[in-house]
Structure 1
């Protein structure tokens, strides 16, 4: 017997009573499922605990999970009907934030993007059949026999890993059977509008030593209008894909023959990085940071002391042996920054000490998760470590957060989500340290009038942190800046300073990154601006286009004039039509075109065309210089 509260009234519920039976008892109609203590159940699931229950209707956001889960099964059934039950082996098919996917293995067949419409048509056929979706619960041995008969070895693997006391349930629709906890809609005909979007690879259980399955993704909403709106969004995402833009704009290259997740910056990308990094360094120097450079490798004992070999080794590259000692390429810069701090005994008068580095690190990521610049194996962190006294913590955090927000605004980001992660159950450091650190984080956020959310217990074991997410031009939020306390490394490396009492004390240490990494931030920027970078950051700021060969001499004079004032300008001398030259420049996302013909040569003018704003008319050289100079000024709202 269970006690369930519905609409403020407590009911006794017999064991084995399903959600549907309970709702019939209390007069609830048209529900797709229920929330019981926050968990989503479908109508066929028995109630097995005390708590509060509420119906889920189609209008409720939770209904999407029920519907999308059923679509993943419908897709799996469609794949089996197309390719054959005996050769299709099912992995897992959960829901996602916008839809669903299923991991499948099809013997001798590689499903391609062009096969998706065929699968969609078969899914629509199954939906039209309006097949009842039936839940059954099996004993372990019964389940094993069933899935052995179906030759579903991945399902058998799941069953053998299910705890002995857990319930094993299956769902059936027609002759299709799947191992699943649910939830599902009552019939295949009770689903919404859907679209299969793409295919990716996924190792079984995320283990690269196990088979690679094909992961087929779909999105789904209740209405066709919602689906089409989302598809338009996906088209915009595709248009802004930084991998496509990076190739078109000749910024960077990732070559599998060199190594997955390893970025080569092409000449235009090299110019872009120089501008970005010079700006970063100048702004840090203005604020009292000291720039350092540290090695790419370090002896094993360094990573043993830091704890990386104990807690992070699976993400580190294998060691190299040199002179009978092991060296590791660095996954993080922190231990080297500690070494700089410890290079001499520090006085409280030297603190806060702010060490900054554009430090390249290497982390082993599975090939299946690599994604352009967003997920790589070698990347450059805009790293800084601030070492301070307890009395300086409040001011340091305020200044650091203010700097991070200012820097992000420079790059055109105005909308932020801020999260403060607090002490987890297992943590190092004293209660006093945690309280002081968490208080400093909250004070800084509130003093800058930023709204924030608390992630209770979400901090790392070694300290609380602030995470900043930035909103891009099409509404996506990206994790970017982090300000993280660390009570671990000061202890492990025995960091000290001499206080005003002439005694030695343990400092506070704060990790800080604003961009996160140069690579990922660049990917975000490219997608935010759809490749049309701000004038001051663009590798090529303007292209001069002479209308004919007789205007080339004048165009070259203009080129030298602008370059002498340090603007990044190039000239298109090709024997092509003007329209072709303009089109090529626009495809290259060059902010300004400078067109010169007879009238411009005669009057020493230039016709200016903006990629963003169109024709700006004619300007003298001096007016153009003044205009370009104004565009290089850093403006923050």
Structure 2
């Protein structure tokens, strides 16, 4: 007898070996129809898999996360099947699942066109409608190499040849198409219904720029039509919010091939930057940080001592002067340790908190650059806390409270907390990593934060907390970090005098709240679709006259508002052009200004203004004093 234990603890017995499908059918015909795979312990298996011993079993359906991933993986194979039917000379390479979808890379003699993409998607739909079974078989490695060479699939044969000899490999066939895959897969192509091909891009074979360029077809797949349509709606909205387009339309910044991967900030964009920077500067001041500034270029020997040269040198810009090698700093931490080491530090000085708006440079590949989100030259709101082991818990808790307040002020209230633990390539002892990881866990628990473990994703010098934000479209942005580093103080010989007079090493906490200023501003632009809250808006209001007769009155209002709001440095656009008022209103509305104030003869006589809010809201006529109260409230509450 074979005993199967289900997730709810119920058990079912069978007289002999039984498939996942048969177990599902014994529970109910609906489950058998919905089953995509089985899960035995931690291992996913096909529904055709035979269970030959007592086992725990979960039936995986499209409602499970594993089920959705299975659908996407199988749809990637369906894509390859369709391409081979339409373009037999194309060679298939690899086709993994990615976030929200999948891709497959092909070698083909000419670029795929938009018309090709439409034809491929149509053929995929036809193949899915055939509801062909997906069948698994196993071959020894060398037979698999010979098999794919015989098909003319030289890339696939090369992949298999790199696998250690003697291994058996699984192949999956649907119709007359067969592909290498460890599986599992959906039982038949008919389970794949809700998908769409998105775009074609270039990709180097095996990700190496020295190899030939392949064509990568991206697609998305979902468990239901509603989920697919919702995703496409989000993509459409994301396109409208693209910070590169809005940055150009709103006159915030531009990117230029004369300096790839860096940003040219225009006056309005720099006003936004300064508002973010000055806000963070106040956060520094209110939380016990001392602002510092380190040099841009540091000697290679320093980067060798810290370990960055071995781990990070390919991403560093280097230069030479008088036979000495230097690197532009990719991060600020070594400079902060050198500042810390000036003068003797006592335990009474700790915790010591440094903050810097540090300009950094990293040699990102051209293909990885993305607007102002991924650049080569960026400024980090970087900070480092030097403290004792006993102070770590409180510092971690304090910092989590700080980021929660900051993100809320910027309009992000949904935070995901992750603890990234030790990677395989790291410096330091296991004991120091144990202490550091425990300290961060305890700090999150002390703050009452539920968190996930991101195993192996820590920095090479220490574990970290990652603070990930959800934006208005539900997209996730990994933003702030808090890292414990016992290694750099050791490598650079940082010390403090303990209470008993001995010399000890401080722990170093690396922390960044908004992270890259460029990336964070890009996030803000997309989160608010360019319609930034009043306190952040590069131009907070425009003052418009109807005729020349109100020009001086508009100037008086602008001066009066500045006096009524001392310390605010109100950002006002005074538009006194001899243009139709409807034209001027429309022009400023397209710039997504929070307020437009209009003055004609009636408003001038009454000492008032007609106020329009963003989104074409008519707020009526009000006194200058009333409007000053309104905008002051908006700024104070960060609405």
Q: Assess same fold via TM > 0.5.
A: yes
| Runs (5+) with no aligned partner, structure 2 | none
Q: What residue in structure 2 maps to residue 40 of structure 1?
A: 44
Deviation for aligned residue 1:182? 2.5
Matched, 1:163 2:164: yes
Q: Write out per-residue CA displacement over residues 399-431 of structure 1, whole angstroms, 9 at most, x where no aligned residue.
A: 222222221121122222223345678876677
**CA–CA separation in structure 1 for the residues paired with 2:541 and 2:306:** 48
**CA–CA separation in structure 1 for the residues paired with 2:53 and 2:161:** 25
Deviation for aligned residue 1:456? 6.3
**CA–CA separation in structure 1 for the residues paired with 2:619 and 2:484:** 50
Q: What residue in structure 2 maps to residue 268 of structure 1?
A: 268
**CA–CA separation in structure 1 for the residues paired with 2:156 and 2:614:** 55
For residues 108-127 of structure 1, what are the structure 2 equivalents within 5 Å? 108-112=110-114, 115-127=116-128
**CA–CA separation in structure 2 for the residues paired with 1:157 and 1:53:** 36
Q: What residue in structure 2 maps to residue 601 of structure 1?
A: 604
The alpha-carbon distance between structure 1 residues 395 and 138, as it changes in their structure 2 partners (threshold 3 A), is: closer
1:19–1:43 contact (8 Å) kept in structure 2: yes
Matched, 1:283 2:286: no
For residues 622-637 of structure 1, what are the structure 2 equivalents within 5 Å? 622-634=625-637
Matched, 1:80 2:79: no
RMSD of equivalent CA atoms: 3.1
**CA–CA separation in structure 1 for the residues paired with 2:363 and 2:14:** 54
The alpha-carbon distance between structure 1 residues 225 and 27, as it changes in their structure 2 partners (threshold 3 A), is: closer
**CA–CA separation in structure 2 for the residues paired with 1:524 and 1:225:** 27
2:360–2:378 contact (8 Å) kept in structure 1: yes
**CA–CA separation in structure 2 for the residues paired with 1:448 and 1:613:** 43
For residues 218-367 of structure 1, what are the structure 2 equivalents within 5 Å? 218-259=219-260, 261-317=261-317, 319-367=318-366
The alpha-carbon distance between structure 1 residues 388 and 577, as it changes in their structure 2 partners (threshold 3 A), is: same
The alpha-carbon distance between structure 1 residues 47 and 143, as it changes in their structure 2 partners (threshold 3 A), is: farther
**CA–CA separation in structure 1 for the residues paired with 2:425 and 2:130:** 53
2:306–2:488 contact (8 Å) kept in structure 1: yes
2:128–2:193 contact (8 Å) kept in structure 1: no
Q: Write out per-residue CA displacement over residues 452-479 of structure 1, whole angstroms, 9 at most, x where no aligned residue.
A: 3455676445433322222222223321
Matched, 1:504 2:503: yes
550, 570, 589: which one aligns with 1:567: 570
Deviation for aligned residue 1:24? 8.0
Question: May I ask how many residue pairs the two structures share in their alignment?
Answer: 629
Q: Write out per-residue CA displacement over residues 120-167 of structure 1, whole angstroms, 9 at most, x where no aligned residue.
A: 222222223333333332232332233223332321221122222433
2:316–2:362 contact (8 Å) kept in structure 1: yes
**CA–CA separation in structure 2 for the residues paired with 1:13 and 1:245:** 64
Q: Write out per-residue CA displacement over residues 439-464 of structure 1, whole angstroms, 9 at most, x where no aligned residue.
A: 55445434444333455676445433
Deviation for aligned residue 1:355? 1.1
Q: Write out per-residue CA displacement over residues 306-338 of structure 1, whole angstroms, 9 at most, x where no aligned residue.
A: 101112223223x32221111111111111111
**CA–CA separation in structure 1 for the residues paired with 2:171 and 2:180:** 4
616, 619, 623: which one aligns with 2:619: 616
**CA–CA separation in structure 2 for the residues paired with 1:420 and 1:144:** 42
| Runs (5+) with no aligned partner, structure 1 | none
The alpha-carbon distance between structure 1 residues 458 and 581, as it changes in their structure 2 partners (threshold 3 A), is: same
Q: What residue in structure 2 maps to residue 552 of structure 1?
A: 551
Deviation for aligned residue 1:80? 3.2
Deviates most, 220-229 or 443-452: 443-452
1:100–1:218 contact (8 Å) kept in structure 2: yes
Deviation for aligned residue 1:371? 2.2
The alpha-carbon distance between structure 1 residues 628 and 35, as it changes in their structure 2 partners (threshold 3 A), is: same
The alpha-carbon distance between structure 1 residues 49 and 551, as it changes in their structure 2 partners (threshold 3 A), is: farther
2:533–2:638 contact (8 Å) kept in structure 1: no
The alpha-carbon distance between structure 1 residues 550 and 89, as it changes in their structure 2 partners (threshold 3 A), is: farther
Deviation for aligned residue 1:633? 1.6
Q: What residue in structure 2 maps to residue 100 of structure 1?
A: 102
2:436–2:485 contact (8 Å) kept in structure 1: no
Q: Which secondary structure state, in structure 1, belongs to the residue aligned with residue 515 of structure 2?
A: coil
Deviation for aligned residue 1:489? 0.2
Q: Which secondary structure state, in structure 2, belongs to the residue aligned with residue 633 of structure 1?
A: helix
**CA–CA separation in structure 1 for the residues paired with 2:103 and 2:412:** 32
Q: Which secondary structure state, in structure 1, belongs to the residue aligned with residue 257 of structure 2?
A: coil
2:333–2:384 contact (8 Å) kept in structure 1: yes
**CA–CA separation in structure 1 for the residues paired with 2:94 and 2:2:** 32
1:91–1:104 contact (8 Å) kept in structure 2: yes
Deviation for aligned residue 1:264? 2.1
Deviates most, 428-437 or 283-292: 428-437
1:297–1:328 contact (8 Å) kept in structure 2: yes
**CA–CA separation in structure 2 for the residues paired with 1:466 and 1:481:** 8
Q: Write out per-residue CA displacement over residues 531-580 of structure 1, whole angstroms, 9 at most, x where no aligned residue.
A: 11111111111112223444334333333444565211113344544333
Deviation for aligned residue 1:111? 3.4
The alpha-carbon distance between structure 1 residues 3 and 456, as it changes in their structure 2 partners (threshold 3 A), is: farther
Q: Write out per-residue CA displacement over residues 359-411 of structure 1, whole angstroms, 9 at most, x where no aligned residue.
A: 12122223333222222222211100111123332332232222222211211
Deviates most, 247-256 or 449-458: 449-458
**CA–CA separation in structure 1 for the residues paired with 2:26 and 2:622:** 80
Deviates most, 194-203 or 480-489: 194-203
Q: What residue in structure 1 maps to residue 143 of structure 2?
A: 142
Deviation for aligned residue 1:481? 1.5
2:467–2:479 contact (8 Å) kept in structure 1: yes
**CA–CA separation in structure 1 for the residues paired with 2:337 and 2:53:** 52
The alpha-carbon distance between structure 1 residues 49 and 349, as it changes in their structure 2 partners (threshold 3 A), is: farther
The alpha-carbon distance between structure 1 residues 250 and 165, as it changes in their structure 2 partners (threshold 3 A), is: farther
Q: Which secondary structure state, in structure 2, belongs to the residue aligned with residue 632 of structure 1?
A: helix
Q: What residue in structure 1 maps to residue 70 of structure 2?
A: 66
